[in-house]
Structure 1
Amino acid sequence: MVDDRDLECVIAVAEELHFGRAAARLNIAQPALSKRVQKVEAHLGIQIFERNSQGAAMTAAGADLLGHARDALSSWRALEGTAAMLRSGTRGTVRIGAVGSAFYEALPTLLGRVASRLPDVTLSVVEMETPETLDALSFGDLDLGFIRPPVAPGIRARTVWEEQLVLAAPATSPFAARGGVAVAELGHERVIFFRREAGPGYWDRVSEMFLSAGVAFDPEEAAGHTSTILGIVALGAGVSIVPSSARRFSPPGVVYVPLAGDHPLPLAVVTTAAVPSPATRLVLDSLPQRPATPARILHEV
């Protein structure tokens, strides 16, 4: 079977037109080089070189084959290079599922860093609700996910982003002109939100925030996505609690008001206990080791 080293020998002889010089160039013994050239000729059933006292000359058939030999060697080296990158993780595809609210700022920031560090890794990102993400991870259809913690047993999680929750109110609301709002003031407001099943971590965090303020959390579960919720708020139908990064995709008629106190909303990267692919491992290593925030730039590798 002809291999890449055999092709190197043929190409070297073709370029040097001398077996001795070709052997010296490749740092091998001349008999070994001659044997490899003969191997290629036998395999193809074509005489590539005519040997003479001055060295070697290419036959017409050999000259016709030389370009193909160079292409084959180049393709083989590219194949080896790609395989090496796949083994190391610097090339490959990482399948990612993420909650919709992570697309406002967290994912562009976090995965933008990853893309700049791993330019040959394809990040295939799709929006998924938390239950779908966890199911896809368990079935091996995703390599990692971004969800709102906490997570179920058997899932590995690391918080990589954190931002404050804010009030989204219609521009016509009395809250719109305020510099801040206490959660306790929202007890009589119509709160537009999503079903708990879609994002239990986010839902429970907001519910606990209301309960801690002595206010019942009984939202109108009118939409499945934050963008739709904001559209309903813009119509003046109620208020909502959203991540501060939602400001980046604000429809007209919505005002964002800080909530009194500290109300962080974390985002975690999650994987299963299975051994990750090399590319997935490098992506995980490129994400922050402690939570990044919209106001802080991390320099961790």
Structure 2
Amino acid sequence: MEIRLLEAFLAVADELHFGRAARRLGIAQPPLSQRVQRLERELDVRLFDRNRHGVSLTPAGTEILDHARRVVAGADHITRLAHGIRSGDSGTLRIGAVGSAFYQALPQLLAPSREQLPHLTLTVREMETPQQLDALLTAELDVGLVRPPARRGLRSRTVWQEPLVVALPSPHPLASATAVTVNDLAGEPLVLFPRASGPGYWDQLDALLRQAGIALEPAAEADHVTTMLGLVALGAGLGLVPASAQVLQLAGVRFRPLTPRTELPLAAVINPDTLTPAVDRFLSTLPAEPVRPEGPA
């Protein structure tokens, strides 16, 4: 059944006049009559009573009317949806993000897309960087928000940078200091992410500590910031975390700036081989330069 036949039926049902219905559809009256007659033949029911007094719906036409409206509205919705998918304005975008991005970065980075692309559905999953990169290569994700570097073949752009801070147990002597220097970390037990979960984070800290002559030998490892801070509260060691982790405010944990200021980047990564209009539109809403939120110096 053609949608245009149902549209002809609805126009006549609304106007109860073939001439006005034809003008509404922008066609001549004979083709309109032919469409209605064809629909009646396909349905094997009479939809209208026609006489010298005018046009009225038959009981069958009245019964079918609401169903016809829903079908035409559904077809219009599908047409608009397809147009939106072609243009990138609608559809579903699968986004991965490291856990620490949820504290501050994600709400700010995703706000413009939610405002500018209200019909684009964003599904966000917490995933560590290596898992995101794997998912991008297998087309299970559309966009990853990871700690760089990305892998060869993927396209990456830094969209967020925030300073690292030191998380200390409340009784620790350095908890009362204005800031903690890299040299202060010498001999201190450290609680860190395992390199397998965050190679970019690990390698950045390794380079930073090596410059101060300190070997990166963590006393404990944790896959999530909350677990890391829990271990810090228990006295297992000092943690090095993004400044946005301070929103957690765990009992028994104090945060102090790390000097010299060391920034941890967050990058938006895509697979150019699976690029879609929706990915392009989403990327256009992200900042051209990395956002540097207010944080400890």
Report the TM-score, using the length of structure 2 for normalisation. Answer: 0.93
The answer (yes or no) to whether the contact 1:19–1:55 under 8 Å persists in 2 is no
User: 1: CA distance between counterparts of 2:121 and 2:108?
Assistant: 16
User: Corresponding residue for 2:231?
Assistant: 232
Deviations 1:162-204 (A, max 9, x none): 0011111111111111111210121110111121111100001
AA in 2 matched with 1:89: G
Identity between Structure 1 and Structure 2 (%): 47
Letter in 2 for 1:240: G
Local SS of the residue matching 1:51: strand
Q: How far apart are the structure 1 equivalents of 2:108 and 2:12?
A: 53
Aligned counterparts of 1:127 and 1:219: Cα–Cα separation in 2:
24
CA contact (8 A) 2:91 2:121 kept: yes
| 1:210-249 matched pairs, under 5 angstroms | 210-249=209-248
Where structure 2 has 5 or more consecutive residues not aligned to the other structure, the ranges are none
Shift of 1:109: 1.8
Structure 2 residue 189 is the aligned partner of structure 1 residue 190: yes
Residue 143 of structure 1: aligned partner: 142
1:11 Cα deviation after fit: 1.7
Asked whether the 8 Å contact 2:18–2:29 carries over to 1, the reply is yes
Question: Paired residues, what number?
Answer: 295
1:132-189 deviations in whole A, cap 9, x for unaligned?
1111111111111111111221111000000011111111111111111210121110
Counterpart of 1:108, as a letter, is P
Report Cα offsets for 1:10-57 as digits up to 9, x if no partner.
Answer: 122222222122212222111111111111111111121233334323
Letter in 1 for 2:268: V
Q: What CA distance in whole angstroms lies between the structure 1 residues aligned with 2:58 and 2:197? A: 72
Report the Cα distance in structure 2 between the residues aligned to 1:71 and 1:25, rounded to whole angstroms.
19
1:95 aligns with 2:66: no
Alpha-carbon distance in 1 for matches of 2:266, 2:25: 55
Q: Distance in 2 between matches of 1:295 and 1:192?
A: 25
Aligned partners of 2:89 and 2:117 also within 8 Å:
yes
CA distance in 2, matches of 1:149, 1:134: 10
Segments of 5+ residues of structure 1 without an aligned counterpart are 297-301
The 8 Å contact of residues 81 and 91 in structure 2, kept in 1 or not, is answered as: no
RMSD: 1.7
Taking the aligned partners of 2:115 and 2:16, their CA distance within structure 1 comes to 46
- Aligned-partner SS, 1:167: strand
